[in-house]
Amino acid sequence: MNFQLPDIGPVIPELVMTGLALILLTAELFIKNKKVLAFASSVGVGGVAFTLIGASGTTFGGMFISDGYSTFFKLIFFINAILSILISVKYIAIEKVNFGEYYSLILFSTLGMMIMASAADLIVLYLGLELMALSTYILAGFIRYDVRSNEAALKYLLLGAFSSAFLLYGISMVYGLTGTTDLKAIAQFITTHGLTANHSLLLSMLLIAIAFGFKIAAVPFHMWAPDVYEGAPTSITAFMSVGPKAAGFAALGRVFMIAFGSMQFEWTAILIPLSILSMAVGNIVAIAQTNIKRMLAYSSIAHAGYVLLGVIVANNEGLAGMMTYLMIYAFMNIGAFAVVIMLRTEGFKGEDIKDYEGLAKTHPLLAAIMLIFMFSLAGIPPTAGFIGKLYVFMNAIDAGYTWLVIVAVIFSVISAYFYLRIVMYMYMREPKVEVSISTSPSMNLALIVTTVAVLAIGVFPSIVVDLAKAAISGF
Amino acid sequence: MVPLNWYIVLSTAVFTIGVIGFLMRRNVIIILMSIELMLNGVNINLIAFSHYLQDPRGQILTFFIITVAAAEAAIGLAIIIALFRNKATAHVDDIHEMQG
């Protein structure tokens, strides 16, 4: 029997990431100061980002592809991982769960996302998704003594496993119909055998869409999101409101654009209601929330609705808009959660929206930073959030979805109410409770990076937009 | 030879029983078992197709599903134990710390 080693060039970032995570897991036994691990993991992820430069091509018999599209998404995952680690250092010490495996779990989850973004085969896609999800379940329940964190992990696990069973049933039906799991081969089989109107194939596509709907938290598959986001440690809420969502979109874009490319009409018909419902439910229910983590959970559901517009457009410009939006969303959402984490001190939760009353009087700089993130999430210029929305909406109008953009803009206006309510509380109310903030050098660094990124992308959007357009060109 | 249709009917039945169990039962352990049923429904489907198509991919995916399901069950049970220590219950209706 002749065994040939596959070309490992395209998978080098994944291999380095695996090595890094394993080394950290072992080093955790010997290193008492967990800050060293945080430093090593964030610097390590930065190092892995450099290995992306040389990695391109297809390997493992076409199962794994490294192209501009996957590289751009991996960049989002690295930004997400580094910023999440930076905001975690002090926070997990305050929550008294300062264990070293926290950082390796973040790295393993990021590894799963990287595999998802690079999957050119449904088997690889499933494995990446599970690696990402299993690590995130543990992280959501990381505060073992807190029943809310346990509950969040349990709900996330049950609904995550439920959704991956749907994904697998869809995959098994696609496999039965086409005899392959390779995305390109599926697309070829569908066109040559004229299966576009096949009911079983439509059903399997629907099942796969449901599974991705769970992962990106689109309505009506969002029920888990508010509870999980509220109960999980705040740093992990920041991590999983960006990473798994972006990974879900990466896989959604690749599977639907490549494997089901000839059935565009059918899957846009599935995604348009998802998008409208997400924007409606996310933005309207967020108004009624009193817990800021829960409010940001509904806001993240609404943002999934906006990003779905980029997929619905179903061309390279639409995907570039989606990628731009997700990159911007990573900065502004983690920034907002970083402010929430700063209010958490020993014996004070700081999760109630009322805790933000009069913050501008007691901590003017922090209030100003929160103002920037809230403006950005609401999509007010000159912040990055405006640019993200602008590009996604422009592409949708070019593709003839003017009515859908009008709906999106209306819901976007509604969203301004609850984002600006925080600003109003901070600037126009008198402080009622004594709020002290917990600062640390890594936290300050994360806040500086996110604030500068949100403002810089808002003023010079071409930084990200051109990168996304260049990344998508070979898709 | 058993026709392919019978396998598909069996797998659909097992998967559907799993879905119904997930939605109707209130004990967390039984919900986890329902998820295993759903995954096994998928496995039957994949192996039947794999045999019928004379292609190994389906069986490879089945191996992966079994492995991942084991990992998932391990994490699920660990979470249930952590929850049980804080709040002695395995009944989902009692698990409602967060509402809104």
The tens-digit pLDDT sequence of chain B (100 residues) is 789 999 999 999 999 999 999 999 989 999 999 999 999 999 999 999 999 999 999 999 999 999 999 999 999 999 999 999 998 877 888 877 776 4
**Residue in chain A lying closest to B46 (CA):** A172
| Cβ–Cβ contact A146 with B under 8 A | yes
From A67-76, A189-198, A268-277, the region with the lowest mean pLDDT: A189-198
Are B38 and A169 inside 8 Å of each other by CB? yes
Q: Is A96 left (phi over 0), alpha (psi -120 to 50) or beta?
A: left
Q: H or E segment at B99?
A: none
Q: In this predicted model, what pLDDT tens digit does every residue of A328-348 receive, in sequence order?
A: 999 999 999 999 999 998 888
Using the beta-carbon criterion (under 8 Å), do A161 and B46 form an inter-chain contact? no
Question: CA of A220: how far to CAs of A271, A275, A295, A356, in Å?
Answer: 11, 10, 17, 31
DSSP codes, A55-111: --EEETTTTEEE-HHHHHHHHHHHHHHHHHHHHHHHHHHHTT---THHHHHHHHHHH
What integer pLDDT is reported at residue B99 of this predicted model? 66
Q: What pLDDT digit, counting tens, does each position of A22-59 carry?
A: 999 999 999 888 899 999 999 999 999 999 988 888 99
| A59–B contact, CB cutoff 8 A | no
- Buried/exposed code over B26-64 (b: 16+ C-beta within 10 A; e: otherwise): eebeebbebbbbbbbbbbbbbbbbbebbeeebbeebbee
Q: Which tokens in the block code for residue A99? A: 């264990």
Q: How confident is the model over A305-333, as a mean pLDDT? A: 94
CA distance B63 to chain A (A): 11
Determine whether B1 is exposed, middle or buried from the number of CB atoms within 10 Å of its CB (0-12, 13-18, 19+): exposed
Position A61 scores a pLDDT of 87
Please tell me the predicted confidence (pLDDT) of residue A1: 60
Hey, what amino acid is at A212? F
Q: Please report, as a single letter, which amino acid is at residue A414.
A: I
Q: Is pLDDT above 90 for A433?
A: no
What is the residue-averaged pLDDT of chain A?
A: 93
Distance from CA of A230 to the nearest CA of B (A): 8
Q: Residue holding tokens 């698990």?
A: B95
Instruction: Please state, as a whole number, how many other Cβ atoms lie within 10 Å of the Cβ of residue B24.
Output: 10
Whether the pLDDT of residue A126 is over 90: the answer is: yes
Distance between A141 CA and the closest CA of chain B, angstroms: 7
Determine what percent of chain A is predicted with pLDDT higher than 70.
100
Residue-wise pLDDT for A110-124, tens only, equals: 999 999 999 999 999
Give phi and psi for A383, each to the nearest 5.
Answer: -100, 170
Q: Cα angle vertex A307, ends A306, A311, to 5°?
A: 120
Burial class (CB in 10 A: 0-12, 13-18, 19+), A265: exposed
Q: Is the pLDDT of residue A2 over 80?
A: no
DSSP string, A219-266: TTS-THHHHHHHHS-HHHHHHHHHHHHHHHHHHHHHIIIIITGGGHHH
Q: Which residues of A1-17 are buried (b: 16+ CB within 10 A; e: fewer)?
A: eeeeeeeeebbbbbebb
pLDDT at A475 over 80: no
CA distance B48 to B7: 6
Domains (ranges, CATH) in chain B? 27-94 (1.10.287.3510)
The CB-side HSE value for A378 (13 A sphere, CA atoms) comes to: 22
- How buried is residue A462: exposed, middle or buried, by Cβ count under 10 Å (0-12/13-18/19+)? exposed
Average pLDDT over residues A308-318: 93
Can you tell me whether residue A119 is helix, strand or coil?
strand
pLDDT tens per residue, range A414-423 = 999 999 999 9
% of chain A surpassing 90 pLDDT: 86
